[in-house]
Amino acid sequence: MMAKQFPLAVIILCLALAVSGCVHKSVSAAGPAPTAFGSAIVESSGGKQIGAAGAVLSQPWILQVNDDQGNAVAGAQVFFSGPAGVSFDPPSGLTDSSGQLSTSVVLGGMAGRYQLVASTRTKTQKRIDLKTDEIALDYQRRLGQLLDDKYCSRCHNPESTPERVSNYDNLEVKPHAFTEGDTLNKMSDADLMAIISHGGPALNKSPLMPPYGYTLSKTEMRALIAYIRMVCDPPYQAPGMIYAQK
Amino acid sequence: MQSSNSTPASFWQKLFGDPLRAFGVVSALLLVLLAIAPAKNHFSEWRHYQRGYLRVIRSRGDAVTLQRHFQPGIQQIWHPELGVTDRCTSCHVGLKEATLTDVSLQPYRKHPVIPHATDQFGCVMCHRGQGAATTVDEAHSSTLAWEQPILPERYIESGCGQCHRAALEGTPQLNQGRALLARYGCVQCHTVKLPDGGVMHATQDAPSLSHIADKTTREWIFAWLKDPQAYAASATMPNFKLKDEDIRDISAFLIANSTSLAGDTTPPIPQKAIDPTAGASLYGESFCASCHAVQNAAGNLVGGNVGPELTRIGSKAKPEWLRAWVRNPRTYDPKTEMPHYRFTDQQVATMEGFLLAKADSDLLANVHLDPATPEQIAHGKNLVMEYGCASCHEIAGIRKPENFAPELTRIGSKSVSQLIFLEGMQHTLTDYIAGKIRQPRAFAPGLKMPQYSFTPTQIDALTTALLAQNDRAQTMPPSLAVAGPPASHYRPAGKAGQIMNDLACFSCHAINGRGADMAPDLTWEGSSVQRKWLEDFFRNPATLRPALIRRMPKFNLSNEDIATLSDYIMTVYQTPEFDRDSMPEAGYSATQVEQGRQLFYSKYACQSCHIVDAKADKGYIGPTLTAVGSRLTAAWVYHWLKNPQALRPGTTEPNRNMSDDEATSLTAFLMTQKSSGKREAKK
């Protein structure tokens, strides 16, 4: 009798534990119940930022839920998700009176692109997603970003800000923006190193690009290249490992 | 009795029917017991991960190299002098393998590139955790015996701050955190001792309140104390969350305690009709926005953060005080960073009208204060002492309190058992520090720490800076400490020194290591520029860099002052590297000039950043060179071309490693670019 009951009891116990585990999880995922539903989710700001690995992004990610007519919907539920290591504060919530919800994002500890997803549900419980990419930089690439900011971006970044006017339009030969993956991904690390240290003429390009070999150290130039590789769009694929078995 | 004896006997007999069987069972038991230790070792976590690593690298192209690097067994990084015994590399096997960039699976990732070798200082120095542990849990989480969990990546720069005492190029977050500690007055109440024996100093002195009644009204003080950010969103003053009666009494005390200062106020200036647009253009021409911000119609702050925000200055400043301040700020505050502009009476009146119009009628609309009673004033004084106002502000009759708030020298090693957490908060030191900065008053009733309005990024930066203040930083061998440049207390001497102090040159320029970095470093200015240009520049500062918003203002200096300053700069601020007169300013051969032109436009393509021919060239990263032959000395141009960083460390112009001949030709070409003299003619 006992022997028969024992495994049964164990099974019941396991099931109970498993169920309680599941219940606990679903409770923590759900926030306050939505009071309204939208049919579209749009980004207000905070997408495509470049931040530091493991750190909070400098700008919050702000999303807006709209209805069929494109009007903002207050009280709609938005929940956020991302790859392992990404956290959101708050992880979900209801849109405010202007139909917006703001969350501060902490990216994962490894450098790379993180695809964030913001979702809401329609009246029919259909899930609508909005995706954006945020880039996390590690120490080396952040150093590259600082160098870009100091030496490169005045010509290579065509965008002007009031504080910083771009020199891009003044140049006869237009430099490539560091996000131009189609061009830059074709160049090897050695090519980039050559053009940074010896200037444009090293690769038969314009002398408007000066050499930095006597100004920057090898470490700095490597950091700059690592940064350029990280912000390229489409993303840069390193020449792959050759696998012995394939 | 018989039954009780027979039961164990039968059990015993069942188990070991005869001695042989008993021997066999006991031997088997012993064997099993003996096997426990090797089995535990065999199934240990680190062996499991090492086997996993071998599986991961087996199919790679560089498997042979990786396998050769692999060492089985427990690995250890041991630095007894630093107290480091780190066995992390037992599981994190691929940490040093440069080719593992594509592996994202932990614990096999390669370590990201950092300026130190991973075994130079070990792991826990930056990451915290228990280095000696050999299981995942013990190494990473806090346990009963250990309470040092792994540091979240977002605070990783705190590790750098243990040795690096000054701002470091690669640690923007740590630098920001330390700057915030100094700027927002944290270190005025909390002592933060540095390992070299010094203490962290505040970088911004809050204004003195000893003469505040000259400057503003009791109503404004009330509104300000109620919510400083309502007056200016960018205000550094935190919100003390005071009750209305308390604010009433504090404002009563501050006004009653204030004494009037001679020259602090000026009667109205009889003025001609003021052109309403003149104020805005005077504000623009004087480059007030280099230091002061104003909120624009879109709600964005436009301008610098050296001085206070001026969006609602008209609701704060009394007209008679503002007038005196604009005329000469040093009368009211001898240490102010604001220059003495030497405005004419008409300009002072124009500026006054312009600034007073920047008022917000809502700010003081609901503030109605009855005349103060002596009890209120006495109570206000008590409150001022209780809240430690004199920690930041100079207040006549009240001493700056010492050790007003807990010392934060070793806050980064504070034991979690000594902390009181909020409900629902994770019990970690990092969450405690961040939480305390975010909402200090929530931790207990009656706490005095005010509420700041920091952004999440600023809170992370502050937490990082505080985590760097730990036991390890205090006990690090002095040989490892990387001190910053020594603080410079340089003061220019004599009459010129007085004028430079009056003009607050150091608020924008740096000289001999002292000063700000908004404008060029002037340490070698005397070797760099020609005297005539310098005098003209003082008279009418012309723009050198077309794309720059922040520029040198015009100070209406007298000829005598200009001569004094120019004499001093030309004589004292000379580089020992070369003689400023070692090269002629004219008289180069036409061939040399032509060769220089070729080098400028073809080989070195200087026109990408500089303008020589105002019609054809467009580059505007570097200064305009259309009149460089009238501005710089030939020797400076030559040595600059040879190595710009040697003359001004960190300047962005790349070193082109040009030959002496080329540098001479380029100098010859540039020195022919003289000013046409039109500007002087116009004047």
- The model's pLDDT over B296-334, given as tens digits with 9 standing for 90+, comes to 888 888 888 889 999 999 999 999 999 999 999 998 998
Helices B172-183 and B456-467 pack at an angle, to 10 degrees, of 90
Are the CB atoms for B380 and B250 separated by under 8 Å? yes
Q: Do B509 and B520 touch, CB atoms closer than 8 A?
A: yes
CATH code: domain B212-382 is 1.10.760.10
The pLDDT of residue B4 is 47
pLDDT beneath 70, residues of chain A: 1-31, 240-246
Rounded to whole angstroms, the Cα distance separating B251 from B389 reads 12
pTM (2 d.p.)? 0.87
- Burial letters for A126-147: b for 16+ Cβ neighbours within 10 Å, e otherwise? eeeebebebbbbbbbbbbbbbb
Torsion of CA B530, B533, B538, B544, to 10 degrees: -110
The whole-angstrom separation of Cα B231 and Cα B219 is: 12
Mean pLDDT of B273-294: 86
B450 neighbors B241 (Cβ within 8 angstroms):
yes
Rounded Cα gap, residues B147 and B419, in angstroms = 12
Chain A residues with beta carbon closer than 8 angstroms to that of B604: 207, 210
Q: Which residue of B has its CA nearest to A173?
A: B608
By mean pLDDT, which of A21-30, B72-81, B576-585 is the weakest? A21-30
Cα B368 to the center of its chain, rounded Å: 40
Chain B contact present for A226, CB below 8 A: yes
CATH fold of B172-199+411-476: Cytochrome Bc1 Complex; Chain D, domain 2 (1.10.760)
Nearest CA to CA, how far is B616 from chain A (Å)?
A: 10
List the structure tokens of B294: 């104003």
The mean pLDDT of B97-125, rounded to a whole number, is: 87
For residues B447-465, average pLDDT:
94
Question: Any idea which of B109-123, B137-151, B163-177 has the lowest mean pLDDT?
Answer: B137-151
Say which CATH architecture domain A40-137 belongs to. Answer: Sandwich (2.60)
Q: Quick check: A142 and B604 CB within 8 A? A: no
Q: Which residues contact A161 (CB under 8 A, 6 or more apart)?
A: none
CATH topology of domain B499-683: Cytochrome Bc1 Complex; Chain D, domain 2 (1.10.760)
3-state secondary structure B384-419: HHHCCHHHCCCECCECCCCCCECCCCCHHHCCHHHC
Give ranges for CATH 2.60.40.10 in chain A.
40-137
Q: How far apart are CA B251 and CA B257, in angstroms?
A: 10
Round the average pLDDT of chain B to a whole number and report it: 89
Displacement of CA B345 from its chain's centroid (Å): 39
Beta-carbon contacts of A160 under 8 Å, excluding residues fewer than 6 positions away, are: A166
Shortest Cα distance from B457 to chain A (angstroms)? 6
What is the structure's pLDDT at A10? 54
Q: Which residue has the tokens 């001004």?
A: B648
The pLDDT assigned to B145 comes to 62
- The answer to whether residue B258 scores a pLDDT higher than 80 is yes
For chain A, give the longest Cα–Cα distance.
93
Q: In this predicted structure, what is the pLDDT of residue B659?
A: 94
Residue A171 per-residue DSSP state? -
Q: Which residue of B has its CA nearest to A138?
A: B112
Q: What pLDDT does residue B665 have? A: 95
Helix axes A218-231, A139-147, angle to 10 degrees: 100
Q: Give the pairing type, strands A127-137 and B293-295.
A: unpaired
Closest residue, chain B, to A151 (C-alpha): B652
Which among A56, A110, A111 has CB closest to B460?
A56
Contact: B153, A109; criterion CB under 8 Å = yes
pLDDT at B264: 67
- Dig out the tokens for B161 from the structure: 């701050």
Instruction: Considering only the beta carbons, identify the residue of A60, A138, A207 that sits closest to B603.
Output: A207
Task: Name the closest residue on chain A to residue B458, using Cα atoms.
Answer: A58
Is the minimum CB–CB distance between B300 and chain A shorter than 8 Å? no
Which residues in chain B touch residue A140, judged by CB atoms under 8 angstroms apart? 112-114
Surface-to-core class of residue B237, CB atoms within 10 Å of its CB (0-12 exposed, 13-18 middle, 19+ buried): buried
Domain A139-231 fold is Cytochrome Bc1 Complex; Chain D, domain 2 (1.10.760)
Cβ separation of B170 and A241 shorter than 8 Å? no
Q: Which residue has the tokens 């720490």?
A: B449
Which residues of chain A have a CB within 8 Å of the CB of B60?
241, 243-244
Over residues B126-154, the mean pLDDT reads 85
B546 vs B451, higher pLDDT: B451
pLDDT at B677 over 70: no
| B24 pLDDT above the threshold of 80 | yes
- Yes or no, beta carbons of B59 and A243 under 8 Å apart: yes
Pairing of strands B510-511, B514-515: antiparallel
Q: Which two tokens stand for residue B490?
A: 């340089």
Spatial CA neighbour of B519 closest among B558, B476, B550: B550
Complex ipTM above 0.90?
no
pLDDT in the model for residue B445: 85
Structure confidence at residue A16 (pLDDT): 52
Q: CB distance B549–A214 less than 8 Å?
A: no
Nearest to B514 by CA among B651, B647, B337, B633: B337
**What was the pLDDT predicted at B203?**
85
User: Which residues neighbour A197 within 8 Å (Cβ) at sequence distance 6 or greater?
Assistant: A211, A212, A213, A216, A221
Looking at residue A21, what is its pLDDT?
45
Parts of chain A belonging to CATH 1.10.760.10: 139-231
pLDDT band at B52 (very low <50, low <70, confident <90, very high): very high
Model confidence pLDDT, tens digit, residues B424-443: 888 889 999 999 999 999 98
What whole-number distance in Å separates Cα of residue A52 and Cα of residue A33? 34
- Give the pLDDT score at B545: 77
Predicted pLDDT at A240? 57
Mean pLDDT of B97-118: 87
Instruction: Report chain B residues whose CB lies below 8 A from the CB of A53.
Output: 112, 153
The verdict on A168 touching B (C-beta cutoff 8 Å) is: no
Is residue B507's pLDDT more than 80? yes
- Report the pLDDT value the prediction gives residue B487, as an integer from 0 to 100: 82
Decide if A210 and B608 are in contact by the 8 Å CB cutoff: yes
Q: Is A218 on the interface with B (CB under 8 A)?
A: no
Residues B40 and B48: their CA atoms lie apart, in Å, by 11
Give ∠ CA B134-A107-A78 in degrees, rounded to 5: 125
Rounded to the nearest angstrom, the minimum Cα separation between A182 and chain B is 22
CA separation for the pair B553, B398 (Å, rounded): 38
* CA separation for the pair B97, B359 (Å, rounded): 63
Close Cβ partners of B663 (under 8 Å, ≥ 6 residues apart): B638, B641, B642
CA dihedral B97, B103, B105, B106 (to 10 degrees): 20
Is residue B7 very low, low, confident or very high in pLDDT (cuts 50, 70, 90)? low
Q: What is the pLDDT of residue B298?
A: 85
How far apart are the CA of B362 and the nearest CA of chain A, in angstroms? 24
